[in-house]
Amino acid sequence: MSTWNSMKAAIAAVAPTLGAALGGPFGVAAGRMVSKALTGREGASANEVHKALQAADADKLVKLKELDNEYKLQMQKLGITRDKLEQLDRDSARHREIEMMRWGHRDLTPPLLAFTVTIGFFGVVIAIFFIPIVQGMREIADVLIGALGTAWVTIVSYYFGSSFNAEKSNEIRAQETL
């Protein structure tokens, strides 16, 4: 896992709203806030922020949690929820793909990754059923299937939408029929 991804996951564990914002359209502002809270300056690198987070004492973690609550309130005032931040992050990837196609370019990376992960996921599932696993390797197989399963769910959500969107859609339809 890259420093950026591990830092984002670590921040999301303490400050979920700021963690969701990192990497999305509000990521720069969120990153500056986190950087200042943990390192004392806004322009720290991902590696510096990650090291500061790992070495953070209870006071800094409480400060980060308070910052997360403040950020959440600011976003609520703007009508933006954590779910909306995650949706905007997914939509920016979809929008990038649409724009590239509009200009006559086709980026094969997303569909190739989707294909590879899908084949890998179902290949491992089938292999677990038909190939005996050596003692001590079961844990590795479990981790592999968990990682591939998570990646596969993300891919399906990217291409077909998430169940969250389906639930919201059903709520809207129910309200329209009233």
Band the pLDDT of 162: cuts 50, 70, 90: low
46: which residues sit within 8 A by CB, 6+ positions away?
Answer: 3, 4, 7
Band the pLDDT of 115: cuts 50, 70, 90: very high
pLDDT tens for 127-136 read: 888 988 888 8
**Distance between CA atoms of 74 and 135, rounded to whole angstroms?**
52
More reliable by pLDDT, 145 or 175: 145
In terms of residues, how long is the chain?
A: 178
Angular region, 162: left φ>0, alpha ψ -120 to 50, beta rest: beta
**Distance between CA atoms of 166 and 52, rounded to whole angstroms?**
39
Mean pLDDT score across all residues of the chain:
79
Locate the domains of the chain by residue range. Answer: 3-83, 108-177
Alpha helices (H) along 15-57: 16-21, 27-39, 46-54
What pLDDT shows up at residue 122?
Answer: 93
Percentage, residues of the chain above pLDDT 70? 81
Query: In 56-104, where do the E strands start and end?
Result: none
**3 state SS of 35:** helix
More reliable by pLDDT, 125 or 82: 125
Cα Rg for the chain, rounded, in angstroms? 20
Mean pLDDT, residues 96-122 taken together: 85
Enter the pTM of the model: 0.47
Band the pLDDT of 117: cuts 50, 70, 90: very high
Closest-CA residue to 71 (of 29, 42, 35): 29
pLDDT tens for 43-95 read: 788 788 888 888 888 888 888 889 889 888 888 888 777 677 667 666 767 77
Band the pLDDT of 138: cuts 50, 70, 90: confident
Percentage, residues of the chain above pLDDT 90? 7
Q: Which two tokens stand for residue 16?
A: 């979920």
**Distance between CA atoms of 7 and 14, rounded to whole angstroms?**
11
**Distance between CA atoms of 4 and 100, rounded to whole angstroms?**
25
